[in-house]
């Protein structure tokens, strides 16, 4: 399509807003694109991605299944997105079946998640903790690491930037700055196992993602903002 096509222009705005974390703005842009072209596949997927990231899980699941019903054959992007939505709803076995389907359709773009048991993930985490710089290990002794399968909507109510796909989160009070404290937690760093398992193509890559996430979240506790973390290579 030409660059000045209004549908493509709204989709570009939506994708840019998604990249910036402006999910409401992205949703509005994709809705404008769909209004101009109700059959546009990319706009429909973009809209559902926004619903997912905004924790509008039942609505996202209904719409992604309507897209499936309109297909003559499965699409890997659609399958992978439904899998992530199912994960957010807690339907882990159904999600893994769709992750496997997306991988079958496009193995290069959609690697299988590196699934581990709770004990196995903890063993990987313990090795990562031993490899952290001494100053961070000292902080870990005070601010523990908790592992959960997925983030819960209640966390997002207090921290709007949290999405169902987030890898980790510092919850509590940073050095010198009150931030937020989600109900049920003291000062902790949360790691979300299923999201981290999808962040790498191997156990070693998952371990690297865990390390980067820990350094990022403990950086928040130490008072670094996002710009400073980016400068340190931990964004």
Q: Which residues pair with 173 in a beta bridge?
A: 178
Structurally, the chain folds into a number of domains equal to 2
**Is pLDDT of 10 > 70?**
yes
pLDDT value for 136: 82
- At 60, the pLDDT band (50, 70, 90 cuts) reads very high
**Domain that residue 71 falls in:** 6-105
pLDDT of 138-157, one tens digit each? Answer: 888 888 999 999 999 888 88
User: Do 173 and 74 share a structural domain?
Assistant: no
pLDDT of 178-212, one tens digit each? Answer: 444 444 556 889 999 999 999 999 999 999 999 99
Which residues contact residue 1 at a Cβ distance below 8 angstroms, ignoring those fewer than 6 apart?
7, 8
Q: What is the mean pLDDT of the chain?
A: 88
CATH number at residue 78: 1.25.40.10
Q: Which of 28-42, 129-143, 218-232 has the lowest mean pLDDT?
A: 218-232
Predicted TM-score (pTM) of this structure: 0.87
CATH number at residue 178: 3.30.2010.20
pLDDT value for 225: 58
Residue in the structure block whose two tokens are 């209904």: 62
User: Do 131 and 223 share a structural domain?
Assistant: yes
Among 71, 217, 225, smallest CA distance to 144 is for 217
């Amino acid at each position: 399509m030409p660059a000045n096509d209004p549908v493509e222009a709204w989709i570009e705005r939506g994708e840019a807003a998604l990249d910036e974390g402006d999910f409401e703005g992205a949703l509005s842009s994709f809705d404008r694109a769909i209004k101009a072209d109700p059959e546009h596949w990319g706009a429909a997927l973009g809209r559902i991605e926004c619903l997912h990231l905004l924790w509008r899980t039942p609505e996202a699941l209904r719409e992604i299944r309507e897209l499936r019903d309109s297909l003559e054959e499965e699409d890997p992007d659609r399958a992978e997105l439904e899998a992530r939505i199912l994960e957010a709803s807690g339907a882990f076995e159904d999600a893994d079946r769709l992750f496997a389907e997306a991988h079958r359709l496009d193995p290069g773009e959609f690697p299988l998640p590196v699934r581990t048991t709770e004990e196995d993930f903890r063993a990987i985490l313990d090795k990562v903790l031993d490899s952290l710089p001494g100053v961070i290990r000292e902080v870990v002794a005070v601010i523990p690491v908790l592992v959960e399968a997925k983030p819960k909507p209640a966390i997002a109510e207090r921290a709007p930037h949290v999405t169902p796909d987030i890898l980790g989160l510092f919850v509590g009070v940073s050095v010198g700055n009150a931030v937020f404290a989600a109900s049920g937690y003291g000062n902790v760093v949360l790691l979300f196992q299923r999201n981290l398992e999808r962040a790498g193509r191997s156990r070693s890559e998952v371990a690297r993602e865990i390390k980067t996430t820990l350094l990022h979240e403990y950086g928040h506790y130490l008072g670094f903002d996002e710009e400073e973390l980016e400068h340190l290579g931990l964004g």
